[in-house]
A and B are shown apart, each in its own frame.
Chain A
Amino acid sequence: MRNQGVIGWLLVLPAAALLALFTHWPVLGTIWASFHATSRGGRPAPWVGLENYQVMVADEVFWRSLWNNVWYSLGTIPVSVTLALVMALWVNSAMKGRTWLRVAFFTPTILPMIAVANIWLFFYTPQYGLLEKVTTSLGFPTHNWLGTESTALACVMVVAIWKDAGFFMIFYLAALQSIPPSLAEAAALEGAPRATYLRRIVLPLLMPTTLFVLVNAVINSFRLVDHIVVMTRGGPNNATSLLLFHIYQVGFSFWDTGYAAALTVVLLAILAALAIGQFVFLDKRVHYQ
């Protein structure tokens, strides 16, 4: 028995070592750095205790970025997950051209985010962009979509939804295909309407996938900021600045690594809390087979 335990640990060791080296150690390093000021000109960074966190409380751009991120998450996650489910149900049904449709839905996912953002940048271009061509032909006045504080965030959210939905669809599609057809047949024999079959059988069976997709969607909404860099650089007036983008600016434009570390700790804390919350609360409602 003892021997087996040792072998088990040895088998886990390579993965654990990598995880410790590239995840846990940097996390500890970040927390440690967040209590220090930024080192300048090769001098060691002095200890400042909680000062970086006090600065954060007074940092308007931080609060704006945080709220932007909250709206961004609330806006993108439910829509992209619902859309993914609907698309998966659709391309799972037996119909002509469904391979073509699957490819079409999945295409946004394979494109790099930078390319996607450049395409959408031209969609949103005032006057001759695709969106403007449609709205002006319907008689609406021209609008500067990315250059107006009230619409810029919504515009970048649409890009994220368009990009993520296809990715999540693949997981739903895989889960749908693993549902035994006998269940559908049994439901049909019992005379259950399709809506009931969907609500009482399919959706509960998809719950593990939903949990997985949700966790990924939450992480994505905090992690993916490439399109912000290309499309708005956080503007206008920080209207599209997300938390990670703010961290990047502080860390690699301002070179204030101490403060950037403190911001990163906050981001880590938020993500950890969300992930734990999802696993603890949703786990009760998930039925694994």
Chain B
Amino acid sequence: MTTRPHVLRALAAGLACLAASAAAETEISFYYPVAVGGPITKIVDQMAADFEKENPGIKVKPVYAGTYQETVVKAITAHKAGTPPATAVILSTDMFTLIDEDAIVPFDTFAKSAEDKKWMASFYPAFMANSRTGGKTWGIPFQRSTIVLYWNKELFKEAGLDPDKGPATWKEMLADAEKLTKRDASGNVTRWGVQIPSSGFPYWLFQGLTTTNGVELMNEAGNETYFDKPAVVEALQYWVDLGRKHKVMAPGVIEWGTTPKDFFEKKIAMMWTTTGNLTNVKKNAKFDFGVAMLPANKRRGSPTGGGNFYIFKKATKEQQEASFKFAKWMTTPERAAQWGMDTGYVAVRPDAWQTPKMQAYVKDFPVAAVARDQLQYSVAELSTHENQRVTKALNDGLQAALTGAKAPAQAMKDAQAEASRILRAYRH
């Protein structure tokens, strides 16, 4: 019985301590998605803990929020309810949506010192294309990717092709694919030459074709699209012909999620997919594989993809400042390099590739640098006001053409008409 006052006193002291530290402490919640394989949540938790150690007074609460789509839904819903996260990693293409919802603040507000400004200028320009609009920086590149072509060296050798050289042009890709497509005695295909997936977000892979065909799909202000330009229709015609005319790719809409598995099972000899799958392919392909930049037609190129850091408007001033610090800390050259090696995402700044660790990694695994080398040709991912609605108009058109429901020219004309109607309100 005599111990009770002691216990109480200790408890009270503890509580007082807690209260004091809570007053001096800024807690920021951080929503992030997981879109590739691997123990991402563990890595993020570790990074947050390391940040807290180096920055006493700031507590980071990482919240795994699902896929990209779920993360943006949760963040916007929370924003509407008045309790958004302080910071979040969300698709770079959701920038206009977040601005239109008045949910985020530009990073420029917090960049006061020369060092801060230098940091904001340290990223690859290709990644900044989806992070800036109207002269302001709304997002900081974190987990970014581009599309590359993976090929199976074993199957190349089997088909009498040079196993160390991927196709460099549209023509070469078609010619290779024709040699790689295998049919059994009754004419049924047992292996396809090439696969460009088209479920979910076909517009992104389509941009790999339009960019290499020398045409952009939208303007920088995000209020105009060019879906019905002849070069765009031409790109779609090439895609459709791979399946319907040349029969070197499975006809119809091809699932994005099972594409790597098709590749591992040798049911396809070449695939187009994100560099974010690099670590996955490295682990699971039981054969030698090569990685190449997307084949060119009029030029080289690929859209970028992936997620940026954003800072939310309804967070307190202190939380926003802390979020800025956190984003800066997460994207130092060393950490950007480590994150790239752990996940397969492209390290977002040139000096990350100069770090000793990264150089050793690239020397051992040279294909990791293909995505980096492609960056100089890369363009912004399709992003407009009312982004999801506009991309859906394009996706529907692409799928209609790929399944044969509409001719490419008609499909793109309809998609453009729909996009213009949606964007009407944003053109002043």
Contacts and interface: CB of A to CB of B under 8 A. Distances in A.
Contacts of A127: 190, 250, 262, 265, 267
Nearest to A148: B252
A121 interface: yes
A139 B388 CA distance: 42
A136 B251 CA distance: 17
B396 A237 contact: yes
B409 to A, nearest CB: 16
- Dominant secondary structure of chain A at its interface with chain B: loop
A237 B410 CA distance: 14
Interface string A129-153: 0000000100101101011110000
A8 interface: no
Given A42-B102, A121-B258, A128-B267, A144 B253 contact: yes
B253 A235 contact: yes
Given A232-B199, A233-B200, A253-B69, A144 B396 contact: no
Contacts of A253: 69, 388-389, 392
A237 B403 contact: yes
B386 A121 contact: no
Nearest to B188: A141
Interface string B256-274: 0110011001010000000
Contact of A237 (B101, B389, B399): B399
Interface residues of A, number: 31
Contact of B388 (A146, A237, A254): A254
B186 A139 contact: yes
A254 B386 contact: yes
- Give the bracket for the number of chain B residues in contact with chain A: 35 or more
Nearest to A136: B188
Interface of A: 40-42, 61, 121-122, 125-128, 136, 139, 141-142, 144, 146-149, 232-233, 235-238, 249, 252-256
Interface of B: 69, 73, 76, 97, 100-102, 186-190, 198-200, 250-255, 257-258, 261-262, 265, 267, 386, 388-389, 392, 395-396, 399-400, 402-403, 405
Given A41-B101, A147-B250, 19 more contacts: A42-B102, A61-B396, A125-B258, A126-B250, A127-B262, A128-B262, A136-B188, A146-B199, A148-B403, A149-B403, A149-B405, A232-B199, A233-B200, A235-B395, A235-B399, A237-B405, A253-B69, A254-B386, A255-B101
